[in-house]
A = this chain, B = another copy of it.
Amino acid sequence: MQRYFVEQTARAGNTFTLSKDDAHHIKNVMRMDVGDEILVLDGTGLFRCRLEQLDKQTAVAELLEELPIETELPIHVTIAYALPKGDKVELVAQKATELGVSRLLVFESARSVSKWDAKKIPKKLERLQKISKEAAEQSYRAHLPTIEYVTYDEVLQCAADYTACLIAYEESAKEGEAAAFASTLSRLQSGDSLLVVIGPEGGLTETEVTRLTAGGFVPASLGRRILRTETAPLYVLSAVSYHFELKG
């Protein structure tokens, strides 16, 4: 059944009012009609609904049943991703959403070649959120990831909010370190949270790594090969899914 993410404000009692874009999609792309059923997700839950009203401007749907959420990772994963070159961050927003990320923090690292002009940040984030929303609908996510642009200091500061914090560190791979990631996951339980920092193309600087480790972040290898910056988040999330959803 087709899924639509709506704002929490879209609900009044047992009625959801969907956006103009969604009304268009329901009517013209899906060619549905009043009486047909859709799934609505508002961040609080997943609801089976029946279309009560449908025109070019609005779609109104009546809540029939709340369904169990079965497509979210058992732990909350936040990826703090150093701004990469070009539009790789778009690939990461899409793929990380498919793979279950809860929150994506984009930050400017010392070696980030790209910079986001302050004026353009809202537009850039809006685009990433749109890509993420489409990926969430397509992959049957129940929650939309949040995407934020933060400073390196804010990444450090938010460590206290997480059960565990890691740095994906290629020097660890070169040194043969192979235990930190798996042993961290083994200590986490359903509902816990994990923050993983991933550096830019040139890697995090020594100063950045030192400040992170002083702040409780543990350097971890992601296998024996050197992954590109946009591949590392996908590895992390795939491994988390494998560990919690398939090995369980």
Chain A residues within CB distance 8 Å of chain B: 70-73, 95, 98-100, 138-141, 176, 178-179, 181-182, 221-228, 231, 234-235, 238-239, 241-243, 245-248
A238 CA / B235 CA spacing, docked (Å): 5
A73 CA / B140 CA spacing, docked (Å): 31
- The contact of A225 among B100, B223, B226, by CB within 8 Å, is B100
A139 CA / B229 CA spacing, docked (Å): 11
Most buried by B among A73, A98, A179, A225: A225
Q: A90 to nearest B CB, angstroms?
A: 13
Counting from the closest, the 6 A-B pairs by CB-CB distance are: A238-B238, A223-B241, A239-B242, A235-B238, A139-B225, A182-B246
- The contact of A140 among B70, B71, B226, by CB within 8 Å, is B226
A225 B182 Cβ-Cβ under 8 A: no
A179 B248 Cβ-Cβ under 8 A: yes
Q: A142 to nearest B CB, angstroms?
A: 10
B225 A71 Cβ-Cβ under 8 A: yes
Extra A-B contacts (5), CB below 8 Å, given A70-B224, A224-B245, A239-B239? A139-B228, A140-B226, A181-B242, A223-B242, A238-B242
Q: Contacts A99-B231, A227-B98, A231-B95: A221 and B242 contacting too (C-beta < 8 A)?
A: no
- The contact of A226 among B139, B226, B228, by CB within 8 Å, is B139
B139 A227 Cβ-Cβ under 8 A: yes
Q: Contacts A98-B231, A235-B241, A238-B235: A181 and B223 contacting too (C-beta < 8 A)?
A: no
**What are 5 of the A-B contact pairs (CB < 8 Å)?**
A100-B224, A100-B225, A179-B246, A239-B239, A242-B243
**Which residues of the partner chain B approach A238 to less than 8 Å between Cβ atoms?**
223, 234-235, 238-239, 242
**Which residues of the partner chain B approach A228 to less than 8 Å between Cβ atoms?**
98, 138-139
**Which residues of the partner chain B approach A246 to less than 8 Å between Cβ atoms?**
178-179, 181-182, 221-223, 239
Q: A31 to nearest B CB, angstroms?
A: 19
A179 CA / B248 CA spacing, docked (Å): 8
A19 CA / B52 CA spacing, docked (Å): 68
